[in-house]
């Protein structure tokens, strides 16, 4: 039987790194969005309207990206690591009963 191990420290580090990346992307998108809003009055005509529409679609997509990241980070932090550690503790306690 193949032995499987779970690197709980690696999972915690990955969740932390994803959280940092998410925060950086959110900051950058926020900066781009505020810069774009400052340009709204300068973009006149049909081409400007098209550019604004496309740009705000990208910003709206960022909200979905952030939700996905936060959900995945939450699963790693709140579910995968704690449940694995608890299961391992339970398994060790059961194994000790048979010694």
| Whether the predicted model's global pTM rises above the 0.75 cut | no
Please count the other Cβ atoms lying within 10 Å of the Cβ belonging to residue 15. 19
Which pLDDT tens digit goes with each residue over 24-39? 999 999 998 898 888 8
- Average pLDDT on 58-65 reads 86
Average pLDDT, the chain: 83
Mean per-residue pLDDT for 2-30?
88
Can you tell me the distance from the alpha carbon of 64 to that of 57, in angstroms, rounded to the nearest whole number?
Answer: 11
Q: What is the pLDDT of residue 90?
A: 67
Place of tokens 């449940």: 83
* CA 16 – CA 12 distance, rounded (Å): 6
What local confidence, expressed as pLDDT, does residue 58 receive? 87
pLDDT of residue 85: 67
């Amino acid at each position: 039987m193949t032995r499987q191990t779970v690197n709980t420290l690696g999972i915690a580090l990955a969740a932390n790194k994803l959280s940092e990346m998410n925060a950086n992307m959110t900051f950058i998108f926020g900066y781009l969005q505020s810069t774009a809003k400052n340009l709204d009055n300068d973009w006149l005509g049909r081409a400007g309207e098209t550019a604004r529409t496309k740009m705000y679609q990208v910003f709206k997509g960022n909200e979905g990206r952030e939700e996905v990241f936060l959900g995945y980070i939450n699963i790693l932090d709140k579910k995968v690591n704690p449940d694995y550690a608890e299961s391992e503790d339970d398994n060790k306690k059961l194994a000790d009963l048979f010694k």
